[in-house]
Structure 1
Amino acid sequence: MTVSPHGEATRTGPDKTTLLFAAVLPLLSVLDVLIFSHVNLEALGVRVLWAGELVLSAFLVTRLSGWSRRLFFLANSAIGSVFYLAVVACTGDVDSPYVHMVMCLPLLVAIVYPEEAGAAIVSGVVCMLGIGTLVVLTGHPPAQAIAWASLVAMTSFFGVAGSTQFRRALEARNEARLERTRREAAEKLAGTLAAQALSERLATVGRLTAGVMHEINNPLAFVHANLRFLQEELRAQRLSSEAHVELEQVLAETRSGVERVQQIVLDLKGFSRRDTEESTACALTDVVADAVRLAAVRLKHRVHVKVELPPGLPPVLATPRRLVQVLLNLLVNAGDAIEESGREPGQILVRGEARGQRVVLFVEDNGPGFPPEVLPRLFETFFTTKGPEKGTGLGLVISRELLEHCGATLTAENREEGGARLRIEWPAHDQAAGTLSG
């Protein structure tokens, strides 16, 4: 049995209980043999007809709905009551051993058709009229007919009350189910709207990046050209060896910083357009060295960076400059976390491992680690725990995006001994075959 959207109980197939009752009805003639010592053919015929009507109703009810279904219940309860009164009439009228069940018939109908309270009323009316007629026709006093009718009315009342309670419970359950469906639909809609808003924000970032890129690259190009000119002029000047080396180093680091800014702008543009460069096999030793060197400007005097890369570590498939960008972002994030926590001395460990057919690179720190409520949201766009002057919530998102383009994964966790751990994992790259293994 299922519940319709209107709170009515419906059956998706033939009522098995009704079919079982139909099968048992003819077999009840065994009671006649036990009571009367012979088969009552008239009662048997009534039971067979009743069983046939029940089989027909069990299949017919599945095709009905609404008012036609309710009318069917009312009619079927009346027909069932008539059949039972016929069995009583065939087995001794008021003196029949089955007459005492007449008063219970409305209650049984209420149990069979709990979704329709009117079925018990119809059965009660039929039973009152039927038993009253049998009492009068058999010459019994009218008081006996009134007593029988009163008993039938009482059981009808209880049947109607039970059906009403069942229907209310059914409607309450259906209302709760509809409310839950509405709530789930509202939550799904809210999620869709949030995703749409996020997509629009990303699209806005892409458009702004494309428009601002030229404004940033043009002055950077002038700065880069002027730095190159200063380096050439410096080489032409006659300065002391120590001063010359110092100025040359300062200019070289400045040029490297300018080139890094230009590259970051290009990477952000590529991210917003989903453009990708072709990945190549690269050695982690060189990439990590470049990232640590660039991060030293930011981490100097605050955090000590230690690198542990075993010799013979297989190359990985990546774009070297983009991998440097990712590692630089992870190192700077670790440095910021250590600085905010006030840990001294601050330490960052960059270590690599070859695990079967995979290469794993860890960036670990001895900072405070990730709060439990923050860890699941680290890679959400625009989510950041830094202040507005330090974080945009795009660093880890872009890093993961860049790594996924070359088949790598980026995950975050807390170390058991304290601090955070970022894990980058690649399939090992077979240089000879130029393919990924594993």
Structure 2
Amino acid sequence: MSALLPSPDAGMITRHSSPEQKGRRWRMSGVFAVSILLLYPLDLFMLGQPSPATLAVRVLWSGEMLLYTWLVMRLEERWLPLMLRIHTAIMSALFMSIVAFTGGMDSPYMTLVPSMPLLMALIRPGDTKPAIVCGATCAVAAMAIVVGTKGSALNALAWAGMVTSSTFFGVYGSSQFRKAQAAENEARVERERRESMEKLTKAERHRAQSEKLATVGRLAASVMHEINNPLAFVGSNLEYLRTEVLAQPLREELRQEFQEVFDETSTGMERIRQIVTDLKGFSRMDVEEPCECVLVDVVSDAARLAGVRLKHVAKLTVEIPAELPEVFATRRRLAQVILNLLVNAGDALEEAGVQRGEVRVTGMAEGEKVTLLVEDNGPGFPPEVLPRLFESFFTTKGPEKGTGLGLSLSREMVERFGGRLTAENRTGGGARLRLELPVQRTPLPPGEDPPVVQRGASPRGEGA
């Protein structure tokens, strides 16, 4: 049984170890030394009488363990492997001495001899030499015990063969364990490297996006200042002209025509002011927190900006039912996603040279989610492009038109809202982007009616 007591891993003890580590190792060595002595009654039980020889061996073994612990705490680290092999040889010899003093071939401990190298290989899986030293010591001692008890040479060789075989399997198993551990560590390092690269790529994307938004913000602020000042003069002059012209005696048809011209000009000026405001708002979206969003208003914001790009490319149709439930998202981020999808649709139609291009935005409620479809009547996605559509830096556009980050960032933003963004080709031709967002369920207090939401855009309309 004493062979089953593992030796403390003294290779971890150095003179540079902390006092806490040294104290812990001393306690382990003390427990091991005391355990060796406490097994002496087992020797008495097997022999039926006191055995000064086994007691002396056990005392010597306990002292050797404490001496070994004391030495390795004071030696330089380069001496520790040699000390461990010497300690293993002494420990194996002392165990075989107990076997010899408790009956030799008839000792119950004899059956444990082949397990000694295996046990050492388990204790020190990263170092095969202690197991080899233990196996060699036990093999020689086993042959000596067999010959000393007048056993045959063949029997002695058989015992030596068993110990040698167990040593081989222990060393081989330890070697395979090290290889498996090295492969696992290599796989872990590679996995961590890939994760680090992914995090670095995401961080770079976010940095590029932040810089882009900051640039847009600074540009929008300058543009707003440069445009709003002359726009104020134009607005004042327009109102003056409206008042003066309409005050003149005019035919009713001409008066109505002038009225329409003034109204259209005022609408155009307001649109210019709103576009600049939206650009500045998009540049500051990082400071906004997610909240309940009315999808009609979000799509209206995106459609207003996309109309500038699609005006001479396609007809934009928006069909969003007014009764759609609210979704939980950052409004301007969601508007940016929709704007990106609309602009991509316009780019595809323009590149394909589609005449009478159409882009349609449709909203619908499907169970616990709201689905938004962005469709066009273009050529659709090529089969080889569709699987890679949302990969970072993958683009079919020229370097002056895209970086390959738009759809990747759009999907990432949608997933942050708990939604999903997918792409497919329409059965009748053209591309379809499907944006799914979970419904925001906010329980109302008992007896309170749902609030009336004021919408800033028509739920159903068309843009140029």
Task: Give the TM interval when normalised to the shorter protein.
Answer: 0.5 to 0.7
Range that drifts further, 147-156 or 412-421 = 147-156
1:363 aligns with 2:373: yes
Q: 1:130 aligns with which of 135, 141, 145?
A: 145
Q: Is this contact kept in 1: 2:327–2:438, CA < 8 A?
A: no
In structure 1, distance between residues paired with 2:86 and 2:295? 82
Q: 2:93 aligns with which of 43, 62, 78?
A: 78
In structure 2, distance between residues paired with 1:323 and 1:105? 72
Q: 2:175 aligns with which of 168, 175, 189?
A: 168
SS at match of 2:363: strand
Cα separation, partners in 2 of 1:301 and 1:206, compared to 1, 3 Å: closer
- 1:201 deviates by 3.6
* TM-score normalised per structure 2: 0.57
* Unaligned segments of structure 2, at least 5 residues: 1-5, 13-27, 33-38, 73-79, 122-127, 454-464
* Paired amino acid for 1:259: R
Q: Is this contact kept in 1: 2:411–2:421, CA < 8 A?
A: no
* Paired amino acid for 2:440: P
Q: 1:353 aligns with which of 355, 359, 364?
A: 364
Q: 1:413 aligns with which of 413, 417, 422?
A: 422
Cα separation, partners in 2 of 1:321 and 1:361, compared to 1, 3 Å: same
- 1:371 deviates by 1.6
In structure 2, distance between residues paired with 1:320 and 1:133? 91
1:276 is matched with: 288
Cα separation, partners in 2 of 1:209 and 1:172, compared to 1, 3 Å: same
In structure 2, distance between residues paired with 1:157 and 1:386? 69
Q: Is this contact kept in 2: 1:408–1:426, CA < 8 A?
A: no
* Unaligned segments of structure 1, at least 5 residues: 16-21, 30-40, 90-95
2:3 is matched with: none
In structure 1, distance between residues paired with 2:165 and 2:290? 81
Q: 1:335 aligns with which of 336, 339, 346?
A: 346
Range that drifts further, 167-176 or 426-435 = 426-435
Cα separation, partners in 2 of 1:183 and 1:265, compared to 1, 3 Å: same
Deviations 1:255-310 (A, max 9, x none): 24422431133213322xx33399788683x7656765664554356434444444
* TM-score normalised per structure 1: 0.60
SS at match of 1:372: helix
Q: 1:255 aligns with which of 259, 263, 269?
A: 269
- 1:344 deviates by 6.5
- 1:224 deviates by 2.0
- 1:365 deviates by 0.6
Q: 1:264 aligns with which of 269, 278, 281?
A: 278
SS at match of 1:427: coil
Deviations 1:191-216 (A, max 9, x none): 45445544544554455445434432
Q: Is this contact kept in 1: 2:93–2:137, CA < 8 A?
A: yes
SS at match of 2:189: helix
In structure 1, distance between residues paired with 2:49 and 2:350? 95
In structure 2, distance between residues paired with 1:253 and 1:109? 93
For the aligned residue pairs, the C-alpha RMSD in angstroms reads: 5.6
Cα separation, partners in 2 of 1:311 and 1:157, compared to 1, 3 Å: closer
- 1:362 deviates by 1.4
The alignment covers a number of residue pairs equal to 377
SS at match of 2:386: coil
- 1:184 deviates by 3.7
Range that drifts further, 326-335 or 392-401 = 392-401
